[in-house]
Structure 1
Amino acid sequence: MNMKIAVAGFVLIAGVGLAGCSTQTVVTLQNGTQYVTKDAPKTKSEDGFYEFVDISGKHVKVRADEVATVKEED
């Protein structure tokens, strides 16, 4: 019983700790459009796209050659 409580506590603490590690990122496209993401976007995929979820929850997929910069928000 004590082992289950200890494991559950560890999992809870680890989950809270990881939630604090997300860093908002600004993805700027060549045309000036900016997206703010909850986390850094997945790097360029095999098919040549960046994929991310913006802060409103919208899934965005853009061609890598359309991306000007990817920077952590200050």
Structure 2
Amino acid sequence: MIIKKISFKPTKLMRINDYGYSILTVANATHIHVEQISIEKNESVVDDLWIMKDIEHTHTSYMRFDISINKLTLLHD
């Protein structure tokens, strides 16, 4: 198994303390866009992020068909 080290860009943390909902948009095979909408702020977008996958990365058949929540591991620095 090859594990690729991922480096993250610096980011700011914030807590949004109001009611709202999220919109998750699958843009294509490699990009997902998430928007946080605030009901209390006239349904404006208060946060958004993109999740991107390397186009060269492929999952093994084990990862596609035989994965359960107990087998997931979070790797971080």
TM over 0.5: no
TM-score by length of 1: 0.30
- More helix per residue: 1
